[in-house]
Amino acid sequence: MGKGKPKGRVRVGLRIANAHLLKKLAMKTLIKNGRIVTAADEYVADLLIDGETIRLIGAQLDPALADTVIDATGLYVLPGGIDVHTHLSMPWRGIESCDDFFTGQRAALFGGTTTHVDFSIQPKGGTLRQALDLWHAKAAGKAVSDYGFHVAITDLTDAVMAEIAELPKWGVTSIKMFMAYKDSLQVDDLTLFKSMQVAAKSGVLSLVHAENGDAIEVLIAQALEAGNHAPIYHALTRPPELEAEATARAIWLAQVAGDAPLFVVHCTCEGALAAVSAARARGQHAYAETCIHYLFFTKDDLLGTDDDPFNGAKYVCSPPLRELHDQTALWRGLRTGEITSLSTDHCPWNYQEQKELGRESFAKIPNGAPGIEDRLYMLWDAGVRAGTLTPSRFVELVATNPAKLFGLYPKKGTIAVGSDADLVLWDDAAKHTVRAQTHHSAIDYNLFEGYQVTGKPVKVFVRGRLVVDGEQLLAKPGSGQFVHRTSPLLL
């Protein structure tokens, strides 16, 4: 069970069932006797929410201070999760990922994630401002959690270079460059390097999808020419060496570009992680993220099942799933700090109709996997309850470090007086079987189908509003807010 677990009987407290009480709850709420966890501390205390913020933290606070009192005895009080890698309503070859800003955020809330940062993609020939406007329109009237945007550069011009410096004025402090997807998103090293230079001078964090897209295109063409069309060839044509090479290349380019802070998204393999760790040992501002599915699945899952080999398409994502020894390296990195944060790269495509577009060729399978709802309870069960991670390290990975690097801290990502009251009441004893039938995403399957986990949210707050109460969603579409982010707090 781990050290410092809450004792005693779990009492979830009040059930808020109507709009009148919800409005009252948003005024002043006292959460009593919960075990508060931050990246640095773990202690039992009371917490007073006043409007949207945390007003007081202390022992035996007077219930008369609040309109509503919730007894959290036996529960953890965690800062709301922050997922800095999602793709809601993501366009790809004429289709869109199946979660929009309502269904995707609904799933996030039920999983304990209260803020996410999505990727807006620059249209070819368009501007970064146009990209942001497109994604703001996707979220308008649908959002139920708070959110921000990165902007992905796909077409660098002098005008776009100038826009990078303007991004902080628009509340955006991160750009992304794809080193793969040669047919659509990939940038060359010139674009990568020049973008990093401007970002470093502008207080903007550079993100890279690190795979050698040129070599991958050759391998894909060769596989198809040889008649190899099954999903497993998605992994075989994107070997880990090409991720490690691209990661190292991006790191050295970032160093020459004025020690541009660099965040390597969805690190999957031992070689790529070693490149980031070596850079950090040199004192470079390089950071590695991994995603929840890389901790549980391997490339063998792309083989599918005996009755349906194409079932492996469910596991097609980029970079692809790797080997068991890579999982071991990732878990070590989560424990030791070599990996800075855990995200999802939530890019959900329905198996029916969407993934099946690639039934005749793995190259036509939409790349992406779900996970926005599963991230916290899967990591808690396999990490905290297994004794690999402490509760504080868990919070650091899923909330505090993402908040710091992406300009959300201390407004979000921690539990402190003055911070947003983004809170999760977490029941460490609650058992849960993962099912697509009961999850809250729009996708028609779940990678973790049938997993039995212990630990899950029972109440979730966004800026002091109770948005999830047990199995009830109380948030209304449009209640989520765009968060203007500041420059990264480098770790």
- 433-486 pLDDT, tens digit per residue, is 999 999 999 999 999 999 999 999 999 999 999 999 999 999 999 999 999 999
Digit-coded pLDDT (tens) for 364-375: 999 999 999 999
Q: What is the mean pLDDT of residues 123-148?
A: 97
Judged by DSSP in three states, 34 sits in strand
- Is a pLDDT exceeding 60 seen at residue 14? no
Alpha-carbon gap, residue 484 to 408, rounded angstroms: 8
Average pLDDT for 58-68: 96
Give the contacts of 236 (CB within 8 A, at least 6 positions apart): 219, 223, 228, 299
Residue pLDDT, tens place only, 222-277: 999 999 999 999 999 999 999 999 999 999 999 999 999 999 999 999 999 999 99
What pLDDT does residue 183 have?
Answer: 85
In the predicted model, what is the mean pLDDT of residues 315-332?
98
Q: Is the confidence at residue 5, as pLDDT, over 60?
A: no
Task: Tell which wins on pLDDT, 24 or 380.
Answer: 380
The mean pLDDT value for 399-418 works out to: 98
Share of the chain above pLDDT 70, in %: 95
CA dist 110 and 105 (Å) reads 9
Q: Look at residue 4 and tell me whether its pLDDT is greater than 90.
A: no
pLDDT score, position 20: 46
- According to the model, what pLDDT value does residue 27 have? 86
User: pTM (2 decimals)?
Assistant: 0.94
- Amino acid residing at 181: Y
Longest C-alpha distance within the chain, in Å? 74
| Strand (E) or helix (H) holding 246 | helix 240-256
Q: Please, which residues have CB within 8 angstroms of residue 337's CB and are 6 or more apart in sequence?
A: none
pLDDT score, position 23: 46
Strand partners, 60: none
pLDDT at 15: 40
As a whole number, the mean pLDDT across the chain is 95
Report the pLDDT averaged over residues 176-196.
Answer: 96
Peptide bond connecting 348 to the previous residue in cis, omega within 30 degrees of 0: no
pLDDT at 19 > cutoff 50: no
Average pLDDT over residues 279-292: 98
Residue of 140, 144, 133, 143 whose CA lies nearest to 171: 133
Amino acid at 60: Q
Return the H-helix or E-strand segment holding 252: helix 240-256
DSSP-derived secondary structure letter, 382: I
